[in-house]
């Protein structure tokens, strides 16, 4: 049975995941407004991934016979000083989520909630990939300097990634 402390923390994390999704939508819209379709598309896709992470957590609660409540989220940041600032924000966000996922995993272990700990393992792996991806994008932006079209080319080359068959099932399917 899933521990109450873990369940409460997971519900809080659902809010963080939806908040991350909203932030990525705001970043995508910013890049769309700057006529940078590859960066916009990348962040629209990131928004969907974060939304699906939240829905995977919802599905876990449903599967564990726990109440799955959807919390409110803070408004995303919409204004940026330069083209690299949204990526810096995204990297900070991914590092913060990594810490949150690690804390959730540690809580599950402390509570002796082995199914919850096992569920969190995929998210630990996912966060390593997310931080690495955002770090690489930021480094590419910094190297490209004012030539943002080089970044667009980089993002286009990185876009062809397959779905992870080991990912937990998301509530509502992969909508």
What Å distances lie between residue 47 and 50, 83, 113, 115, CA to CA?
5, 18, 30, 27
Tokens representing residue 134 in the block = 């955002």
Count structural domains, the chain.
Answer: 1
* Structural domain range at position 18: 4-158
| pLDDT value for 37 | 96
136 within some domain:
yes
137 within some domain:
yes
76 within some domain:
yes
pLDDT digits (tens, 9 = 90+) for 106-138: 999 999 999 999 999 999 999 999 999 999 999
pLDDT digits (tens, 9 = 90+) for 70-82: 999 999 999 999 9
pTM of the model: 0.91
Q: Which residues of the chain have pLDDT under 50?
A: none
22 within some domain:
yes
171 within some domain:
no
Q: Which residue has the tokens 């995941």?
A: 17
169 within some domain:
no
Contact 112, 1 (CB under 8 A): no
39 within some domain:
yes
| pLDDT value for 79 | 96
102 within some domain:
yes
| pLDDT value for 2 | 65
Q: Which residue has the tokens 């919409």?
A: 78
CATH number at residue 50: 1.20.1260.10
């Amino acid at each position: 049975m899933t521990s109450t402390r873990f369940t409460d923390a997971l519900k809080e994390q659902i809010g963080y995941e939806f908040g991350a999704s909203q932030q990525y939508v705001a970043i995508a819209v910013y890049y769309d407004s700057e006529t940078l379709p590859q960066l916009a598309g990348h962040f629209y896709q990131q928004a969907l991934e974060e939304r699906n992470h939240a829905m995977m957590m919802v599905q876990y609660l449903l599967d564990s016979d726990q109440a799955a409540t959807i919390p409110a989220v803070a408004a995303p940041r919409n204004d940026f000083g330069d083209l690299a600032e949204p990526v810096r924000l995204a990297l900070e966000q991914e590092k913060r989520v990594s810490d949150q996922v690690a804390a959730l995993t540690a809580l599950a272990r402390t509570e002796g909630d082995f199914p919850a700990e096992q569920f969190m393992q995929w998210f630990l792996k996912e966060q390593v990939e997310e931080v690495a991806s955002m770090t690489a994008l930021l480094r590419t932006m910094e190297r490209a300097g004012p030539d943002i079209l080089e970044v667009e080319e980089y993002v286009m080359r990185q876009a062809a990634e397959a779905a992870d068959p080991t990912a937990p099932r998301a509530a509502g399917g992969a909508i």
